[in-house]
Amino acid sequence: MLNLRKACILTIAILLIFTSGCSLTAPQKSDSIHLILGNPSNAATDDDNNYLIIKKQYALSYNRHKGIPNWVSWQLNKSWLGNAPRSNNFRPDDTLPQEWYRVVPNDYTRSGYDKGHMTPSADRSNNPEDNAATFLMTNIIPQAPDNNQGYWAELESYTRTLANAGKEIYIIAGGYGQQGTIGKEKVAVPERVFKIIVVSEPGKNVDDINESTRVIAVDTPNYNGNKESHWSQYLTTVDELEKKTGYDFLNYVNTSVQKVIEAKVDNTVNLRKR
Ligand code: MN
Ligand code: MN
């Protein structure tokens, strides 16, 4: 009897140690609406170059060494869209740790690169405060004008069309690779700019993402010279982007579902020239 009780206590103790050990190593899920499908690089606040910043309007992994986000993630649906004007108030992000250099708009001046929004200004037009948040320099990367003002802008606008049609969308965008720096070497210029767009329905959560959920993935060159191309020419798979960036996108989505939706190239929009 005593032995049985001891055995029981021992078993419970082992279980407790085991489960608490598990919860320590499991990815820390965030309450942010912008991260419900994942935190692709497991960004956290103890890593300067994979530094998690959560705002009401979007969430991101900041790279202190590069002076740009690794990725920015945001939800888009009708509720974020309205008539607020474009603030154009580009400014340093003072939520960064005090001793860090904070990139300023001037670092981009005469660089040949646009101050390229990851979360677009027009995706946050519900009120002036949300719009102004997109002009923080932690949401900005140096983007080639032909990319930013051409097919990239068209894809942004296409995504808003889906939101206006009632879809709930989760977007992750960022750059990878490096082709030099601007702003006296304080800001890295990525070679490629990627975006992943998951098209869901209002009121759905991560467990509702399934094998037939539409996923649009693009991998675009951060160079001038191809302004007339269409974004659908840059379609790829999430799997390819994972190989190139080393991130695990959509990592809170069921693994077997990830396997299917990350291997597909979106074919809803036909290749076309402008
Ligand atoms: Mn832009
Ligand atoms: Mn994945």
- pLDDT of residue 273 exceeding 70, the answer is no
Report which of residues 185 and 10 the model is more confident about.
Answer: 185
Query: CA-to-CA distance for 78 and 162, rounded, in angstroms?
Result: 9
What is the rounded average pLDDT of the residues 132-154? 98
Per DSSP, which regions of the chain are E strands? Answer: 51-54, 59-63, 68-76, 114-117, 140-143, 168-176, 181-182, 187-188, 192-200, 214-221, 235-236
- pLDDT of residue 133 exceeding 60, the answer is yes
Give the per-residue pLDDT at 242.
Answer: 98
Give the per-residue pLDDT at 237.
Answer: 98
**Which CA distances in Å does 28 have to 72, 132, 222?**
18, 29, 32
Residue 177: Cβ-neighbour burial (10 angstroms; 0-12, 13-18, 19+): middle
Among the listed residues 130, 52, 55, 61, the one whose alpha carbon sits nearest the alpha carbon of residue 89? 130
Among the listed residues 262, 218, 246, 250, the one whose alpha carbon sits nearest the alpha carbon of residue 49? 246
Give the per-residue pLDDT at 3.
Answer: 61
Close Cβ partners of 21 (under 8 Å, ≥ 6 residues apart): none
Ligand nearest to the CA of 38: 2
Query: CA-to-CA distance for 216 and 199, rounded, in angstroms?
Result: 8
What is the 149 CA–ligand 1 centroid distance (Å)? 6
What is the 5 CA–ligand 1 centroid distance (Å)? 66
Give the per-residue pLDDT at 108.
Answer: 98
Ligand nearest to the CA of 253: 2
Mean pLDDT of the chain: 92
What is the 72 CA–ligand 1 centroid distance (Å)? 13
Ligand nearest to the CA of 39: 2
The catalytic residues are 117
Q: Which residues surround ligand 1, an ion (CB under 5 A)?
A: 116-117, 148
Give the per-residue pLDDT at 235.
Answer: 98
pTM assigned to the model: 0.89
What is the 4 CA–ligand 1 centroid distance (Å)? 67
Give the per-residue pLDDT at 26.
Answer: 45
Report which of residues 61 and 9 the model is more confident about.
Answer: 61
What is the 167 CA–ligand 2 centroid distance (Å)? 22
Helices and strands (H and E) in the chain: how many? 6, 11
- Joined together, the tokens standing for residue 237 give 């798979």
Give the per-residue pLDDT at 260.
Answer: 98
DSSP class of residue 136? B
Give the per-residue pLDDT at 1.
Answer: 46
Q: What digits encode the pLDDT tens for the residues 49-86?
A: 999 999 999 999 999 999 999 999 999 999 999 999 99
Per DSSP, which regions of 55-110 are E strands? Answer: 59-63, 68-76
Q: What digits encode the pLDDT tens for the residues 79-124?
A: 999 999 999 999 999 999 999 999 999 999 999 999 999 999 999 9
| Domains annotated on the chain, with CATH | 30-261 (3.40.570.10)
Close Cβ partners of 35 (under 8 Å, ≥ 6 residues apart): 29, 54, 59, 73, 252
